[in-house]
Each structure stands twice: as C-alpha cells, then as structure tokens.
C-alpha cells in the first residue's frame, strides 16, 4: 500500500490511494488535512480511555483546525472602514452568511468549532439513521437556512464510513437548491470516501485521516468506535 502526497500551501495534501481490490482515482476534490495538531488530536480521540468531556473538546478543536483550511476560499470583498488613524478599504467575507449543516447526531459535536471561526454562520440540520441490516441511510429530518442556493454550505459528520449518509445528506441539500457544498469529516474509510467522491464529484471533501477499511458491521477500522455515543456519553 502506497500513499502519495503533494503538499500545498497551508499543509493541505491531495491524496490518491491504491490497494489490492480497491482503487481510488481522480482525487482532485479530496483534501487530507495532515497537520500535526490535527493528527495528534485524532490519536487522542481514538484512545478508548479518552472520556466524554475530553472527547467533545477534541472533536470541536479538530473541527476548528480543519475549518481553517476548508474555508480558505471563501469569497471576499473590500469594505470601507475608519480606523483610529484613517479611512481605508479592507477585505471582509462577502455574500450571504455561510451555512453549517451537521448530520445528526454526531455532526453536532463539530458545530462549535466552525462557529468559533464564523460566529455569524447559519446552522441547518439533517437527520439520518442507518438501517442496522442494510447499513443504508434513511432521512427523518431536514431543515436548512434560506436562501440555501446563495450560501457556502459546510456539511459536518465526524465519521465517513460507508458514505451512504454523507451522500444522501448532500443529495437533500442539492434538492433544496444548495450548490456550493463542502463536506468535512474527521475520519473516513476508503469505501465511504470513494462513494461520496463518485456520487458528488462537484463538492470539496475534507478529511482528517483516511483509515484502513470497514469491518463486517460497517465500522471504520481502526476508527474510534461510535462517535455519537462517545460525544454524548450514551454507550
């Protein structure tokens, strides 16, 4: 198994991966955020001895670090302001307020980290549950800030396992008119990343770490267990 990284400004790497029986190509819309701080905090997340309080804080901190890179292409405009010295034009974020859309329930743990960067962002919610037999997602709730078609949208889910929930969530957003979509996850399985990339080649996908594979129960290996249970203390 080989990993090929092309380092870009801001410590963002584009990732291509090939292994026996599984191949991912054309990864131009996928970004693996391999910053040492992100990797260190993900390792702390994985530890089964990390308690609920620390786990929540780590999820939020990682989301903020990832958001710093994922939002580097937000549109800007020059705005006139008056400093204590003189009047000048200086850049500020342009357009409608950004939309953050966590996939319930684990995605809620990442919201605070993005709001710390963009406090004025609007927050929508998508509720999905995974069928225990087929592992396919089913929607039970969707509410998005309007006008969604005029906003940069950041979809949040700590884990990208089969890719079903992530792909369906993006589908729902597109059905409501969403266009400029970014998907952010902390840990992904190759199978889920490939599905999301193939289903939605027009979105940007940001990943904290790409793990080895899925097990027979569709859990990511080595993973970190059930992110929702560990965030909310509901084992």
Return the active site residues: 130, 134, 226, 229
CB 14 within 8 A of CB 3: no
Q: How far apart are CA 199 and CA 183, in angstroms?
A: 13
- Which helix (DSSP H) or strand (DSSP E) does residue 230 occupy? helix 227-232
Where are the strands (E) in the chain, listed by range? 2-8, 12-19, 22-24, 30-33, 76-82, 87-93, 99-104, 122-123, 125-130, 137-143, 152-156, 159-160, 180-188, 204-210, 213-214, 220-221
């Amino acid at each position: 198994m080989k990993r090929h990284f092309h380092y870009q400004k801001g410590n963002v790497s584009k990732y291509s991966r090939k292994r026996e029986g599984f191949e991912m190509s054309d990864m131009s819309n996928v970004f693996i955020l391999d910053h040492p701080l992100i990797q260190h905090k993900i390792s702390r997340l994985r530890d089964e001895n990390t308690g609920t309080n620390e786990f929540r804080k780590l999820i939020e901190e990682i989301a903020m670090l990832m958001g710093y890179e994922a939002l580097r292409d937000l549109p800007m405009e020059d705005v006139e302001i008056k400093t204590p010295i003189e009047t000048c034009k200086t850049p500020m974020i342009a357009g409608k307020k950004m939309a953050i859309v966590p996939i319930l329930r684990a995605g809620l743990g990442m919201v605070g980290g993005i709001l710390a960067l963009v406090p004025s962002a609007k927050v929508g919610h998508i509720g999905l549950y995974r069928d225990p037999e087929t592992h396919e997602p089913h929607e039970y709730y969707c509410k998005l800030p309007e006008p969604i078609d005029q906003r940069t949208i950041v979809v949040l889910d700590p884990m990208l396992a089969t890719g079903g929930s992530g792909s369906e969530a993006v589908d729902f957003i597109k059905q409501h008119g969403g266009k400029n979509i970014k998907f952010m996850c902390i840990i992904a399985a190759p199978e889920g990343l490939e599905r999301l990339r193939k289903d939605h080649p027009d979105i940007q996908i940001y990943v904290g770490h790409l793990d080895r594979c899925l097990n027979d129960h569709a859990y990511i290996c080595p993973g970190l267990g059930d992110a929702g249970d560990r965030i909310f203390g509901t084992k």
